[in-house]
């Protein structure tokens, strides 16, 4: 029975720090601690441990903040530039798609007429028509991939210069 | 409405306004705001990362990477979130990825003892001497030694609860674990910290 009381007190000491206790529990604990030196000792050890934890200060290198801020600024500029480029690319892609759709019947007739004049088989001029649709988008995708790859290496180069010289 | 009520109301509005400004600034990738946030949270973020990794060098690397990630993912931040919680969540994910790459080990080594944790956990390879070097002052030496003996998953919740004064629910969000897991880690971590400090002082 006595062990249960002490066990409850020790649990409440930790609970008070971790998740808090009710007023009733607090009242019971205070009353118990007044008469139990062993549990009181545990309570003060817990408080000491947490006080020591709160006061433990890790060493902080002040240059870390400046380096991080500089790096973040460069990355921010890079992301903003990329966003502007991507917006322009999306607008031109949309325009080209609309123009493509509008001009598709004319293009079809054009390919058909050339096929007829040059006596080319139907499959060949239809393939030509399909390629005229696919090739521009493939080229655009290749350009985007190339630019993104180039963007990363430019970023890495800028970052290397900062690390070597200490400034952008 | 009484004075306390008005003060609480004003305080809440200020917090909301600040969160809105942070969300807007992160969407715009405003460098001035980022400078301010880095300055404001420098110490707390570094301390959290140090507790996670147990290594000064790794904490410094992750500190920079966390802010770059904040910049890149800034548009995902919602003003209803507490910025610190979001920041620590990002830092934690980065730390796990980083430690997995740097110290590749089997998944068994990443598990908490008794198999209570999920496989995707922080590993614990900290040496207490490395940890001691990261702290300043003689008073901190015994705490650093004690912390060096604690596994990372206990150090993490201890710092979030007792340094950051986070609510248990917030901690659960950061560590992506159930509330019951957070509580049991806190109780066990507190018990171990107390025991080690007692042993060291004896």
Per-domain residue ranges of chain A: 2-55, 62-165
Q: Please report which confidence band the pLDDT of residue A168 belongs to, taking 50, 70 and 90 as the band edges.
A: very low
So what's the pLDDT on residue A146?
81
So what's the pLDDT on residue A88?
86
B2 vs A20: CA distance, rounded Å: 28
So what's the pLDDT on residue A74?
92
SS3 B190: helix
* Interface TM-score (ipTM) > 0.85: no
So what's the pLDDT on residue B86?
94
| Optimal mutation site among A56, A78, A155, interface B, most CBs of chain B within 10 A | A56
Residue B75 DSSP symbol: G
CB B165 within 8 A of CB A20: no
Segments making up each domain of chain B, as ranges:
8-201
For residue B121, give how far its alpha carbon lies from the nearest alpha carbon of chain A (Å). 22
Residues in CB range of B18: below 8 A, 6 or more apart: none
pLDDT tens for A22-33 read 999 999 999 999
Q: Please report which confidence band the pLDDT of residue A86 belongs to, taking 50, 70 and 90 as the band edges.
A: confident
Residue A20 DSSP symbol: -
More confident residue, A22 or A156: A22
So what's the pLDDT on residue A82?
85
CA proximity to B91, closest of B46, B121, B39, B55: B46
Q: Please report which confidence band the pLDDT of residue A100 belongs to, taking 50, 70 and 90 as the band edges.
A: confident
The residue of chain B with its CA nearest to that of A67 is B64
CA proximity to B37, closest of B71, B72, B73: B71
For residue A15, give how far its alpha carbon lies from the nearest alpha carbon of chain B (Å). 8
Q: How far is CA A32 from the centre of its chain?
A: 51
So what's the pLDDT on residue A160?
56
So what's the pLDDT on residue B81?
86
So what's the pLDDT on residue B140?
75
Residues in CB range of B172: below 8 A, 6 or more apart: B178, B179, B181, B182
Whether domain B8-201 has CATH 3.40.250.10: no
In chain A, residues with a C-beta closer than 8 Å to the C-beta of B186 are 18-19
Q: What's the distance, Cα to Cα, between the start and end of chain A in Å? A: 71
In chain B, residues with a C-beta closer than 8 Å to the C-beta of A53 are 143, 147, 158, 162-163, 193
B57 vs B66: CA distance, rounded Å: 14
Instruction: Identify the weakest region by mean pLDDT among A84-88, A94-98, B109-113.
Output: B109-113
Residues in CB range of B167: below 8 A, 6 or more apart: none
What residues in chain B have their Cβ under 8 A from chain A's Cβ atoms? 29-31, 34-35, 38-39, 42-43, 46-47, 50, 56, 60, 63-64, 67-68, 71-72, 134-137, 139-140, 142-144, 147, 158, 161-163, 168, 183, 186-187, 190-191, 193-194, 197-198
Asked whether the CA dihedral B128, B132, B138, B142 is positive or negative, the reply is: negative
Contact A71 B186 (CB under 8 A): no
CB B39 within 8 A of CB A65: yes
Task: Centre a 10 Å sphere on the Cβ of residue B108 and count the other Cβ atoms it contains.
Answer: 8
Q: With a cut of 70, say whether residue A112 has pLDDT above it.
A: yes
SS3 B178: coil
Q: Please report which confidence band the pLDDT of residue A64 belongs to, taking 50, 70 and 90 as the band edges.
A: very high
The pTM for the full model equals 0.74
Residues in CB range of A21: below 8 A, 6 or more apart: A12, A15, A29
Contact B135 A67 (CB under 8 A): no
So what's the pLDDT on residue A45?
92
- Write out residues in chain B with pLDDT < 50, as ranges: 106-111, 113-121
């Amino acid at each position: 029975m006595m062990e249960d009381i002490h066990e409850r007190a020790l649990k409440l000491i930790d609970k008070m720090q971790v998740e808090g206790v009710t007023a009733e529990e607090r009242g019971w604990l205070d009353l118990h601690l007044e008469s139990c030196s062993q549990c009181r000792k545990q309570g003060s050890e817990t408080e000491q441990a947490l006080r020591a934890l709160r006061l433990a200060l890790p060493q902080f290198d002040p240059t870390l903040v400046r380096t991080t801020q500089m790096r973040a600024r460069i990355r921010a500029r890079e992301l903003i530039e990329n966003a502007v480029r991507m917006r322009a690319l999306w607008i031109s892609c949309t325009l080209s798609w609309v123009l493509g759709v509008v001009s598709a019947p004319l293009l079809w007739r054009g390919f058909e007429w050339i096929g007829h004049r040059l006596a080319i088989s139907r499959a060949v001029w239809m393939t030509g028509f399909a390629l005229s649709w696919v090739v521009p988008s493939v080229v655009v995708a290749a350009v985007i991939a190339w630019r993104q790859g180039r963007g990363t290496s430019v970023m890495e180069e800028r970052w290397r210069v900062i690390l070597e010289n200490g400034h952008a | 409405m009484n004075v306390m009520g008005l003060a609480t109301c004003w305080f809440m509005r200020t917090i909301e306004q600040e969160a809105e400004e942070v969300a807007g600034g992160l969407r715009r990738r405003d460098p001035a705001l980022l400078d301010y946030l880095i300055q404001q949270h420098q110490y707390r973020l570094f301390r959290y990362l140090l507790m996670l990794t147990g290594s000064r060098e790794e904490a410094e690397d992750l500190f920079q990477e966390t802010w770059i990630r904040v910049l890149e993912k800034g548009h995902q931040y919602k003003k209803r979130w507490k910025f610190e919680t979001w920041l620590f969540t990002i830092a934690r994910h980065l730390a796990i990825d980083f430690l997995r790459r740097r110290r590749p080990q089997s998944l068994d080594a990443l598990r908490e003892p008794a198999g209570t944790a999920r496989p995707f956990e922080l590993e614990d390879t900290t040496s207490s001497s490395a940890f001691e070097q990261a702290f300043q002052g003689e008073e901190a030496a015994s705490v650093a030694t004690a912390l060096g003996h604690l596994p990372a998953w206990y150090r993490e919740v201890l710092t979030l609860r007792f340094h950051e004064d986070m609510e248990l629910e917030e901690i659960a969000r950061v560590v992506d674990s159930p509330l019951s897991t957070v509580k049991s880690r806190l109780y066990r971590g507190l018990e171990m910290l107390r025991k080690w400090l007692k042993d060291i002082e004896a």
